[in-house]
Amino acid sequence: MNRYFYLLCFFLAMFSIGVSGQKLTSFSGEPTKFVGELDQLFQLVNDVNRKDCEKKLKEFADLWNTGKFDPEQQTRILALSDQMLKKRVRAYPDFYHYLGFLPLPDGPDQPPGIPANPFQLQCLDQRDGNTSGGEKSA
């Protein structure tokens, strides 16, 4: 009887570890959930880089939640983030640096923008081994 109890505890422990460590496979597409989903993604980063990710996420969340990005920009950020996630880019350094590429508004003459999507999409394609010259990248 004790053996079954220990076996059951072992399987429950393994299941709970697997559930808590599940990877995010797509974003919901809802701007109100995006920061929380990014936080979930960054929870999988190792302890060495997690502090940097938390700092970067806080900076981004402050911009995101205060309306610094208009709805069209939010839609574009969400779409590109989802594409990145589906291409299996890493939380760190890939998403970490992506959040850093999103420019901060410097004033009324320079609204926040979105990085050039064609370049980023080209980088994502190269990650899959597709290059513009038709060669496989190493």
The predicted-structure confidence for 34-44, as pLDDT tens digits, reads as follows 999 999 999 98
Residue with tokens 């950020």: 77
Render 89-138 in DSSP notation, one character per residue.
--IIIIIHHHHHHSPPP-BTTB------HHHHHHHHHHHTT--TTSPPP-
Asked if residue 63 belongs to a domain, the reply is yes
Q: Domain range holding 42?
A: 25-127
Asked if residue 15 belongs to a domain, the reply is no
Beta bridge partners of 35: none
Asked if residue 9 belongs to a domain, the reply is no
Question: What is the pTM assigned to this prediction?
Answer: 0.63
Indicate whether 21 pLDDT > 70: no
Count the domains in the chain.
1
Asked if residue 5 belongs to a domain, the reply is no
Asked if residue 134 belongs to a domain, the reply is no
Count Cα atoms within 13 angstroms, Cβ side, for 123: 12
Cα–Cα distance, 129 to 126 (Å, whole number) = 5
Three-class secondary structure of residue 28 per DSSP: coil
Write the pLDDT tens digit of every residue in 88-120: 889 999 999 888 888 655 444 444 445 444 545
Asked if residue 136 belongs to a domain, the reply is no
Asked if residue 132 belongs to a domain, the reply is no
Asked if residue 71 belongs to a domain, the reply is yes
Write the pLDDT tens digit of every residue in 5-15: 555 555 555 54
